[in-house]
Chains A and B, each alone.
Chain A
Amino acid sequence: MKLTAFAAAAAAFLMFGPSQAMAGRDLDQIRARGQLLCGVQGPSNPGFGFPNAQGQWQGFNVEVCRSVAITIFGDPNRVQFVPVTTQSRFPALSSGEVDILSNNSTWTLTRDSNVNRFNFPAIVFYDGQSMMVPRRLNVTSARQLDGATVCVQPGTTTELNLADYFRQHNMRFTPVVVADLDELRRAYDSGRCDVFTNDFAALAAQRTLLSRPADHVILPERISKEPLGPVIRQGDEELTNIVAWTVFALVEAEELGITQANVEQIAGSSTNPIVRRFLGVEGNMGESINAARGDYARQIIRTFGNYGEIYERWLGERTPLGLERGMNRTWMNGGLLYAPPAR
């Protein structure tokens, strides 16, 4: 993390690059390089992004990034995954070490503002911060945690919300702040902290890696709103559109009932103009957002399926994480996912 911070400064000092603000500069760079540099949570975040036995990155966030690569290049493999920590991710993004973060970053005002200069094109996961405690402590509510020692990752909204929550309820706590998620989890697992706090989904993911997952409970409180999504640098409208409409395509496909299995058949037979436009059978939607192919949405669905399929594959009830869809259902099913009309 120290190295990345230095790299950020070194890059700021040394990059002799064109300084004129061209529209779509980042997208031009990505196209010229032929590869999307995608920052994912390092060393790993089960379900969301983790390297498999062959060292290939897999998971929910990974498929979101690969979907963006399909939109940009028409090829899901033109991605290089760069593991970043919660502390190093934003310097890595602003210095150009990565083009896009797909690592459960929370959309906040200050990150989105002109101070930090990032863009959050779309939300891919609605979450809330939670607290996990060992079952033997017999704690049933976060309000009983006065005086607790809390394990938390530095440089996160989690860290700030934690301070706010305890202050708001006039409780005291001792933070144990470790940048490396594995080291932090080990600290919690060995009993260094009473509480492990993170977004609910991330806690569920980390729980699968504890020595005895069943001995730990996640408390019912959600102490914050955590809208998570891919992050890019501010100032490239074209790239913003590409990322946003890639995420929307995943959601839209689920709304329309288009899946990996039926996408080709529907494309061939559907007479619904909405579906025909969405799958690139007619119209020029892909061109409008400067995608590599007019039928980018069809390519994505053919490769990874719709939002619900990706969710069930990596996070859903049949995975070790076992997360309910909850807020992450489409709006038609009582969730918060809502894609603007693809027309």
Chain B
Amino acid sequence: MSSTAALAPPRPLIPLPGGHSMRGVLWQAGLAIAVILIGWSLYNNMLANMAARGLQFGFGFLNRSAGIPIGEHLIPYTPADTYQRALTVGLLNTLRVAVIGVVLATVLGILLGLARLSSNPLLRGLTGGYIEVIRNTPLVLQLVFWHAIVLQLPSVRQALNPLPGLYLSQRGLKTPALMADTALFWAAVAVGVALLAWWLLLRRERARQEATGERRATWAPGLALLFGLPILAGYVIGAPSVEWPVLAGFNFRGGLTLSPEFFALLLGLVIYTAAFIAEIVRAGIQSVQRGQWEAARALGLAPGRIMRLVILPQALRVIIPPLTSQYLNLTKNSSLAVVIGYPDLVSVANTSINQTGQAVEVIAIFMAVYLIISLVTSLLMNLYNRAVALKER
């Protein structure tokens, strides 16, 4: 405000402290009142229309028994549980696919973005083709496509068994599950200690490099700690017990399951979003001036380190804001799960609307939830953006 005021000196009706003009304040207040009035009239209109149709607004239904079966749940759930719990199960399913999807799409997107800039024409051409095909077809079609592919997996009796305890079939990926016992707790503690030790080691080596200029890699002792400590703990306390999947009757019993619907949705979202992220990464890298490459090369840095230490930090300024949008898109696009039957929040919410008739309430809930997820994502990304932004000193 003050800086623009300095550029174009306004003639305030009544000057206010801080360079604000009375006219500006009046405009803002007027706008705020208009927004409130519109919101209030919409709300009243909704209540009037609901009353006209005899519908009652309220969230009491959340405590009623839902009766709907849900195939995948991260928390215990049976059809006898409440709508509130059913919606929570849906929300957790949404978060699960969104979080894993964001991580994988970022990794794949960066790799593709770099490949797009490769000096190898074959790699560059293939990546370009991938990006254009994926970006220009509707996501729904891609999801149906991936679902159809996943359904081609062998039937449960002919499940692929690439590793002991690992089964891949139409019922999804079955893996052995670690049982939550004291041995597992101590193994987790051992992993935590190993990570902490690695971090301390890294810090010491960095200080050493600054003092002496000598670099020593930390990955060898780090990995030794990461694997050694839990194994040592296993010898001392006993190994955590493992539940192996066993084929019994129609399906596997025991172990963990990643369902085909989850896979299809994750695959579709990651491959789709990664194409957009690749373009963002490419644009970011190309925005860094050639001189930066040349200067870094002149210092004798290896290409990988030029990218990591010189180019990416500058490219990130351009990359992060649109990357945030892609994360939000991925999260919201996960609602297309209804098409292939992954029980995400929207799918559970739609069924709840159908069974209870409380459309406005349930939609209000899932709008609020998506809004909160989006705002939190934006907030985290903005914090990160501030941390990596160019510091002008």
Contact = CB atoms under 8 A, between A and B. Distances in A.
A148 B250 contact: yes
B196 interface: no
B155 A146 contact: no
A154 B151 CA distance: 20
Interface in A164-188: 164, 167, 173-180, 183-184, 186-187
Interface stretch (A34-42, A86-94, A124-132, A254-262): A86-94
A90 B353 CA distance: 8
B68 interface: yes
B71 A179 contact: no
Contacts of A14: 42, 45
Contact of A177 (B71, B147, B260, B363): B71
A192 B353 CA distance: 27
Interface residues of A, number: 62
Interface in B44-65: 45-46, 48-55
Interface in A133-165: 145-149, 152, 154-155, 159-160, 162-164
Interface in B260-285: 260-261
Contacts of B78: 167
Interface in A233-248: 233-235
A171 to B, nearest CB: 10
Given A2-B350, A154-B354, A160-B67, A187 B341 contact: yes
B54 A17 contact: no
Contact of A2 (B152, B249, B346): B346
Contacts of B355: 110, 155, 160
Contact of A178 (B45, B48, B341, B363): B341
Interface in A5-41: 5-6, 8-9, 11-17, 19-21
A194 B339 CA distance: 20
A114 interface: yes
Given A2-B350, A13-B46, A167-B80, A145 B250 contact: yes
A187 B351 contact: no
B359 A19 contact: no
B359 A149 contact: no
Contacts of B350: 1-2, 5, 87-88, 154-155, 179
Interface string B330-351: 0000010011110100110111
B171 interface: yes
A181 B7 CA distance: 62
Contact of B250 (A149, A159, A186): A149
B14 interface: no
A220 interface: no
A10 to B, nearest CB: 9
Given A154-B354, A192-B151, A192-B260, A183 B363 contact: no
B351 A87 contact: yes
A234 B2 CA distance: 60
A261 to B, nearest CB: 42
B29 interface: no
A194 to B, nearest CB: 5
B353 A91 contact: yes
A40 to B, nearest CB: 17
A84 B357 CA distance: 16
Given A147-B249, A190-B151, A17 B335 contact: no
B253 interface: yes
A159 B351 contact: yes
Interface string B238-271: 0000000000111101000000110000000000
A167 B341 CA distance: 22
A115 interface: yes
A176 B144 CA distance: 15
Contacts of B53: 94, 117, 233, 235
A183 B249 contact: no
A173 B69 contact: yes
A163 B250 contact: no
B67 A147 contact: no
Nearest to B338: A179
Contacts of A335: none
A21 B52 contact: yes
Interface of A: 1-2, 5-6, 8-9, 11-17, 19-21, 86-91, 94-95, 110, 114-117, 145-149, 152, 154-155, 159-160, 162-164, 167, 173-180, 183-184, 186-187, 190-192, 194, 233-235
Nearest 3 pairs of A and B residues by beta carbon: A155-B354, A178-B341, A163-B79
5 contacts: A1-B338, A11-B49, A19-B51, A155-B351, A175-B69
